[in-house]
Structure 1
Amino acid sequence: MTSSEQGVRLGTVQETLLIPLYGRAVESRKPEAVLRDPLAEAMVAAIDYDFTRFDGGSSLIGSVLRTNLFDHWTRDFLAEHPDATVVEIGAGLNTRYERTDNGRARWWELDLPDVIELRRTFFTDSSRRRMLAGSVLDDEWTTAALTTGGPYFLAAEAVLSYLAEQEVRHVVDVLAERFPGALLAVDTTGPGMIDTQDSHDALGKVAARLRWNCPDPRIIEDWRPGTRLLGSHTFTTLPAEVHDGLPEEYRVMIATMAELQLPQVEDYRMNLLRLG
């Protein structure tokens, strides 16, 4: 990683990648952390951006809990399929490879050209890990990813909710056609968060806005015959093996949120699908 300070020139939606990056960096410095990410700490220190605008809210913790669940699903998949291919859709400055790679899997990290340009200042391609500059809305990127063979685990974390529903349906169609039977991890946002995003403690600080309103992720099954929703979780209904591994302060926080039944919490879901 370069030690020089990096200026940020990102598009409106692309700027949102800095929120989970900062969330992991802040979390990594805690005595009892959900995850450790020294690379995130170093990247935050190297990037010329006012990350403190995201301080003081719960969204940083939420982004870490989401990433931790996606990591859990990735590890489980690679434990069953050690020579599989993982595709990070909208990779941003994520470091899932560093946290979950098994030394055998193949990885593709897809994002828009400006993001990949920034990402290349911190990461380099290797024989098993390669970056792809392109849009998830285009089909061309799948050609490269298909060269490494399956089975496939596709992770679209904090990506599709910024698209219009018709665009999301196109993405699901393309993924199902090109990667039939693959697992897809994706988060969905319902009206509770859509309606309050202007005052959101993180999204309210950036120009990007959520567009896909998905009150029930089971609708994705209807979009694509054969697609199945294998799991769908809110922050208050995480899988037991994930919840029980969290620091005590997070388990207490989750219990409090469960009692409050906040719409902006309960309408946000993290989902695992098998594509038809």
Structure 2
Amino acid sequence: MTEKTLKPGTVEETVLIPLYARAVETRRDDPALRDPRAREMVEAIAYDYEKFDGQPSLHGAVMRTLLFDLWTRDFLAEHPTGTVIEIGTGLNTRYERVDNGRARWYELDLPDVIALRRDFLPDTPRRTMIAASVTDPTWPDRVDGPGPYLVCAEAVLAFLPEEEVREVVRSLARRFPGALLAMDSSGPGIVSTQERHDVLSKVGASMRWACADPAEVAGWYEGLELLDTHTMTSLPERLYQDLPAAYRQMVDALVPQRLPQVEEYRMSLYRFP
């Protein structure tokens, strides 16, 4: 059997960080989420995961996933036959966690990632994987699911230059009017010191886009609206209350510290005109 892996030193390698975070979380006695498929993939994909052990960003990746899951559940509750589009899907298993049995899903990533993803996760009549870069202007033509749309861009856009991020946002706005966009961003203090980041410093890929204020993104396209934005210390109350006690204690301890590496990281929800 061919060994499953991703080439070290590439942006594709970064998909293994949130994958490992979910696998580690699943092994806990009181996990914030359960993801048995993540454990299965970690065990099957050859990689030095131990270099991430004990790093705070693993907890951050779990909380980010929980927030994106929450936004997706909210969208599906309001639009049960709508379409979810995950760009930079990596080895995410959001479909397994929150699918309602009626929605249409599209999962986009680079060809090497999609090839690995297909070893574990199937296409179905309601679920389609697309092997392409998010910067490829033709990939939206393959999305024929019904609206309304939710586009999730989790842990992907920061690795692009700002002008490419701008064009991705504009392209999505033109192609999916009225859609919701869930995305995350890192501030200048995080991007400029990423060589000391607890997990990104252990991979070859580098963040290229620094966003000082998520409200700036709303100015990139007329009518684009910022609906919601959160840091790890200002999560929605309903999400915070559902966290295991250890997570709530960690968040509570971070609040008074106002650490730039925490407060400059934002998870935001937008609506296209």
Same fold (TM over 0.5): yes
**Residue type of the alignment partner of 1:61:** H
**Residue type of the alignment partner of 1:86:** V
Find out whether 1:192 has 2:197 as its counterpart.
Answer: no
**Residue type of the alignment partner of 1:254:** V
* Count of residue pairs brought into register by the alignment: 273
Find out whether 1:206 has 2:207 as its counterpart.
Answer: no
Q: Following superposition of structure 1 onto structure 2, how do residues 54-93 of structure 1 map, counting pairs within 5 Å?
A: 54-93=52-91
Structure 2 CA distance for aligned equivalents of residues 275 and 214 of structure 1: 19
Contact in 2 for aligned 1:106/1:148 (Cα 8 Å) = yes
Contact in 2 for aligned 1:9/1:114 (Cα 8 Å) = no
Structure 1 residues 62-87: Cα deviation after superposition (integer angstroms, max 9, x where no partner): 00000000000000000000000000
Q: Percent identity?
A: 57
Find out whether 1:253 has 2:250 as its counterpart.
Answer: yes
Structure 1 residues 124-171: Cα deviation after superposition (integer angstroms, max 9, x where no partner): 1100001000011012110111x1121000000000000111000000
Describe the SS at the equivalent of 1:168: helix
Q: Following superposition of structure 1 onto structure 2, how do residues 31-46 of structure 1 map, counting pairs within 5 Å?
A: 31-46=29-44
Structure 2 CA distance for aligned equivalents of residues 222 and 157 of structure 1: 21
Contact in 1 for aligned 2:9/2:205 (Cα 8 Å) = no
Contact in 1 for aligned 2:6/2:12 (Cα 8 Å) = no
Indicate the RMSD between aligned Cα atoms, in angstroms.
Answer: 1.2
Structure 2 CA distance for aligned equivalents of residues 45 and 198 of structure 1: 28
Q: Which residue is 1:160 aligned to?
A: 157
**Residue type of the alignment partner of 1:14:** E
Q: 1:181 aligns with which of 178, 187, 190?
A: 178
**Residue type of the alignment partner of 1:162:** F
Structure 2 CA distance for aligned equivalents of residues 149 and 110 of structure 1: 17
**Residue type of the alignment partner of 2:225:** R
Cα distance change of structure 1 residues 111 and 126 upon mapping to structure 2, 3 Å threshold: same
Structure 2 CA distance for aligned equivalents of residues 86 and 11 of structure 1: 30
Deviates more, 1:234-243 or 1:8-17: 8-17
Q: Which residue is 1:126 aligned to?
A: 124
Structure 2 CA distance for aligned equivalents of residues 124 and 206 of structure 1: 28
Describe the SS at the equivalent of 1:6: coil
Cα distance change of structure 1 residues 82 and 183 upon mapping to structure 2, 3 Å threshold: same
Q: 1:240 aligns with which of 230, 237, 244?
A: 237
Contact in 2 for aligned 1:116/1:133 (Cα 8 Å) = yes
Structure 1 stretches of 4+ moved >4 Å: none
Q: 1:14 aligns with which of 2, 8, 12?
A: 12
Deviates more, 1:96-105 or 1:131-140: 131-140
Q: Which residue is 2:102 aligned to?
A: 104
Please, what TM-score do these two structures have when normalized by structure 1? 0.97
